[in-house]
Amino acid sequence: MSAPLLDVRDLEVVFRVGDERLRAVDRVSLRVARGETLALVGESGCGKSTLARAVAGLVPIASGSVRLADADASGRTCELVALGRRAWRKQRARLQMVFQDPDASLNPRMTAAALVGEPLRLHAALRGAALDTRVCELLERVGLDPDLRRRHPHAFSGGQRQRIAIARALAVGPELLLCDEVTSALDVSIQAQILELLRTLQRDLGIAMLFITHDLGVVRHIARRVAVMYLGEIVETADTDTLFDAPAHPYTRALLGAVPRVDGRGEAFAVGTRAGEVPSPLAPPPGCRFHPRCPIAVAACAVASPLPVATRGGEARCLRLVAGAAPPAPHSS
Amino acid sequence: MAAAGETLLDVRDLHVHIDPERGSASGVVRAVEGLDLRIARGEILGLVGESGCGKTIASLALMGLLPQQRGRIARGSIRLDGEEWVGQPPERWRALRGRRVAMVFQDPMTSLNPYMRIGDQLAEVLRLRGVNRRREVARRAAAQLERVGIPDARGCLRSYTHRLSGGMRQRVMIAMALLAEADLLIADEATTALDVTIQAQILALLRELRDERAMSMLLITHDLGVVSGLCDRVVVMYAGRALESGPARVLFDRPAHPYTRALLRATPRVDGPTGASLESLDGLPPRLDGPPPPGCRFAARCSFVREACRSAEPELEAAGRGRLRRCIAPLEELEASAGDGAHGASA
C-alpha cells in the first residue's frame, strides 16, 4: 500500500494561557489517503480546529510529525514540521484551508476575480488574459456566474461567499483541503448545496479532505472515515458506517445519542453523558479524559490513560473495551 | 388563568414591518405577514424556517421588543389568556415580560447583566412577584437553580455571568422563567450555540418542565431535529409567511408543503445511509423590502411549481391530519414522491 497523503504522528500543540500551558492537541495521530475524506468531529474546545491549523502551518507545533507524500507517487514523503520558509512555500500550495466564516477570510475590498486570482498570481505567476480565463474557470467550477467576478464579497450571499473561498483554495491545485466548519454558518438548503459541491469537486479532481465539523449528520454525508476528538485526544477512529451503526467508545455513543433526529417519532435525543460540563482543557482529568462524564467508567479509568483497542471498523481508546467484543452497556441506575 | 389544553396565546393575522434606516434607499421590510399562532397551556409549539424568514421578528413582536429593531406591529392581534396586548403602552409590556412571558435567547449574554451577580438578577425577578425578604429570595433562587441542574447553586448565586459556561447561562435563564412563574417560555435558538451533549441536557430539562408545570413554550429554531424531538406542533415559515403547520409527527413524516419537504431532504441525518446525497434548494428567498411576488413566495424554488402558482398566492387551508398548508400542488403528488430518494418518509 502506498503511503497516505497526510500522515500526522504524535502531534502536540501547546498554548500558553497566562502562566498555564494548554495542551490543545495531545499526541494525536491520523492519516488521510489520497482522494479520501476523513471527518474530524468533536465538541467545541476539543482541539479539532487547532489540529487542522497546525497541519496548515497556522499555529506552531510543539512536537510530533506531519508528513505529506510526494506528488510523484515515489513513496517519498516530506516532513512539514520545522521546514524552512522557502521549502514550506513550495509545499504550501498542496494543502489549502477553507474556514467557517468567509467574511473573515475574504478581503471585502477585493473583487471576486481578485480574490480568486491572487493565489494564481503568487503561486502560478499567471497574468493578464490567462489569469482571467483561469479565474472564470474556477468560478464556474464552484457554481458561480463568471460574469459576476467584478463584484465585491458583500454583493454575494453567504453561500456564494463560501463558494468564492472554495474557488480561492482550489486555485493553486491543492491535493488536500482542510475544511473547518465550512457549512456551520449556513442555512440547511445552502449547506446542502456546498456539501454537494465539495463532493463533486472531490470526485472530479481527486482532492483529499480533512473535514472538521461538530455536526454528525454532515459527517455521514461527506466522509468515508471519521475520527472523534475529546479534550485534545482522538478517542475513536472508524469507517463511517461502523461509527454510526456500532460506535465503540462511550463518548461517541453519547455524542450520537444526543443528536436530535428528524424522524417524527418524538423522544429523539438522549442524554448519554452523566450530568456536568466538559472539563477545562487547562486541567484535563487524569486517566481517561472522558471518565468524569462516562456512564460506564470504573475506578481504573481515573488512573490509567487508555491505549487504542482494535474495534470492528477502526480503533478506540477505552479501558472498558475488549478487542473484538461488543462495548459494555451503561450501568443500570 | 387557563386550564391545561385551553388556549394561552392566540396570535391572529400578525403583520410586522421593519422601517429602513434613516437615509437608506431600501423600503419597508414586511418581515411577517398574516401570521396566526395558537399555543395551548402545556403545549410546545415550534416555529421553524431559515434565516430571514421572520421567525425571530415574530417572537420579538410577542415580547414587545420590536422597537429595538425599528419594527412595529402593522396589524393583527396578540392575546394572552384573552387579553389583548397590541396597542398596550411599553410599561405594560415590560411587566408582561417580567411575569407572564419569559425568554431564552441564543446568546444569554445579551439578556444577562455582566455587571450583576446572578443572585441579584434572580432577586429582581422575585421582586416583581413581591418577594422581598432576603432569606426567602436566596432560598427560592437557590432552589430553582438546583431544579435546572446547576450543581453548586449557592456558589452560582454569588458569581458573575462570565464565570459560567454557555449551557449554565441557559440554565440560569430557564431558572429565571421558573422564578417568574411565567406561563409562556419563548426560546429563540436557545440551544443553537451549545454542544450537542449539552443541548440534549437542556432539551430534556425543557421537556421535564413542560410535563411538571404545564408551562407553554414557543421554540424558535432552524434545527428540524430539535423541533421533532420536543414540539407538539410546528409552524414552518418562509419569507414572512407561514407555509405549513401541523402536529410535529405528521409534518415530519408526511410534509404537505414542498418547502417543508425540501427542508427535510436537505437536512443531513445521522441515521444514514452513509454518503447519501442531499437535495439542495437552488436560489434564494424573495426580498421582502419591496412588493412581494404576486404568487406563492416559494414558487421560484419549488419543484412542484405550476403556472397558477406564479399568479396568485394560495390561502392557508386544511390538508388533513391536522395540517394546514399554503399550496395548490395535489397532496398525492407530494406524497407519491416522498418515498423515493434516501430521505423519503419511512412510513
The three grid cell numbers given for residue B105, joined into one nine-digit string: 435567547
How many domains would you assign to chain A? 1
Residue A266 has pLDDT above 50, yes or no: no
CB-based burial, A49-69: b 16+ in 10 Å, e otherwise:
bbbbbbbbbebebbebbbbbb
pLDDT score at B344: 37
Euclidean distance between CA atoms B304 and B327, whole angstroms: 10
Q: Where are the beta strands (DSSP E) in A100-163?
A: none
pLDDT score at A264: 53
Q: What are phi and psi of B311, to 5 degrees?
A: -100, -40
Q: Which of A106-120, A192-206, A258-272, B333-347 has the lowest mean pLDDT?
A: B333-347
Q: Chain B 18-57, CB below 8 Å of chain A: which residues? A: 50-51
Q: Taking residues A6-10, what's their average pLDDT?
A: 97
Euclidean distance between CA atoms B134 and A29, whole angstroms: 56
Tell me chain A's radius of gyration from C-alpha atoms.
21
Average pLDDT, chain B: 90
Structure-model confidence comparison of residues B81 and A324, the more confident one: B81
DSSP 8-state assignment for residue B7: E
- Measure CB to CB from residue B223 to each of A254, A260, A263 and give the nearest one: A260
Q: Chain B 245-304, CB below 8 Å of chain A: which residues? A: 248-253, 262-264, 266-272, 274-282, 284
Reading phi first (left if > 0) and then psi (alpha if -120 to 50, else beta), residue B344 is in beta
Residue A272 has pLDDT above 90, yes or no: no
Interhelix angle A112-124/A128-141, rounded to 10 degrees, is: 120
* Angle at alpha carbon of residue A43, lines to A39 and A45, rounded to 5°: 110
Q: Calculate the CA B39 to chain-centre distance.
A: 12
Closest CA to A217 of B267, B346, B253: B267
Residue for grid cell 467584478: A150
Q: Using the beta-carbon criterion (under 8 Å), do B276 and A221 form an inter-chain contact? A: yes
Q: Where are the beta strands (DSSP E) in B191-264?
A: 216-221, 233-238, 241-247
Euclidean distance between CA atoms A112 and B107, whole angstroms: 33
- Taking a C-beta distance cutoff of 8 angstroms, is the pair A125, A102 a contact? no
Residue for grid cell 453523558: A273
Euclidean distance between CA atoms B258 and B256, whole angstroms: 7
Average pLDDT, chain A: 91
* CATH class given for the domain over B7-19+27-231: alpha beta
pLDDT score at A301: 95
B300 exposure class (CB count in 10 Å sphere: 0-12, 13-18, 19+): middle
Question: Model confidence over B66-110: pLDDT tens digits?
Answer: 877 789 999 999 999 999 999 999 899 988 887 899 999 888 777
Residue A3 resides in a domain:
no
Q: Of A24-38, A259-273, B276-290, where does the model show the most confidence?
A: A24-38
CB atoms within 10 A of CB B65: 15
Q: Which residues of chain B have pLDDT under 50?
A: 2, 339-347
* Angle at alpha carbon of residue B198, lines to B193 and B204, rounded to 5°: 110
pLDDT score at B342: 40
Q: Chain B 174-213, CB below 8 Å of chain A: which residues? A: 195-201, 203-204
Residue A150 resides in a domain:
yes
Q: What percent of chain A has pLDDT over 90?
A: 74
Q: Taking residues A202-221, what's their average pLDDT?
A: 95
If pLDDT is split at 50, 70 and 90, which confidence band does A333 have?
very low
Q: Taking residues A140-169, what's their average pLDDT?
A: 94
Q: What are phi and psi of B258, to 5 degrees?
A: -55, -30
Residue A324 resides in a domain:
no
Q: What residues make up the domain containing A155?
A: 101-173
- Measure CB to CB from residue A265 to each of B249, B269, B279 and give the nearest one: B249
Q: Using the beta-carbon criterion (under 8 Å), do B196 and A258 form an inter-chain contact? A: yes
Residue A142 resides in a domain:
yes
Residue A52 has pLDDT above 90, yes or no: yes
Q: Calculate the CA A129 to chain-centre distance.
A: 36
Residue A8 resides in a domain:
no
Q: Taking residues A122-135, what's their average pLDDT?
A: 93
Beta strands A225-230 and A308-310, pairing class: unpaired
Residue A124 resides in a domain:
yes
> What is the residue extent of each domain of chain B?
7-19+27-231, 253-339
Euclidean distance between CA atoms A70 and A41, whole angstroms: 27
CA-nearest residue to A240 within chain B is B274
pLDDT score at A331: 60
pLDDT score at A265: 56
Q: Which of A221-225, A255-259, B163-167 has the lowest mean pLDDT?
A: B163-167
Residue A21 has pLDDT above 50, yes or no: yes
- Measure CB to CB from residue B224 to each of A157, A262, A269 and give the nearest one: A262
- Taking a C-beta distance cutoff of 8 angstroms, is the pair A142, A197 a contact? yes
pLDDT score at B290: 85
Peptide bond preceding B273: is omega within 30 degrees of 0, i.e. cis?
yes
Distances from the Cα of B174 to the Cαs of A204, B73, B114, B185, in angstroms? 50, 27, 17, 8
Question: Model confidence over B240-259: pLDDT tens digits?
Answer: 999 999 999 899 989 999 99
Closest CA to A309 of A317, A320, A298, A299: A317
CB atoms within 10 A of CB B291: 8
Residue for grid cell 437615509: B23
Contact list, A221 vs chain B (CB under 8 Å): 268, 274-278
Euclidean distance between CA atoms B295 and A328, whole angstroms: 57
CA-nearest residue to B232 within chain A is A266
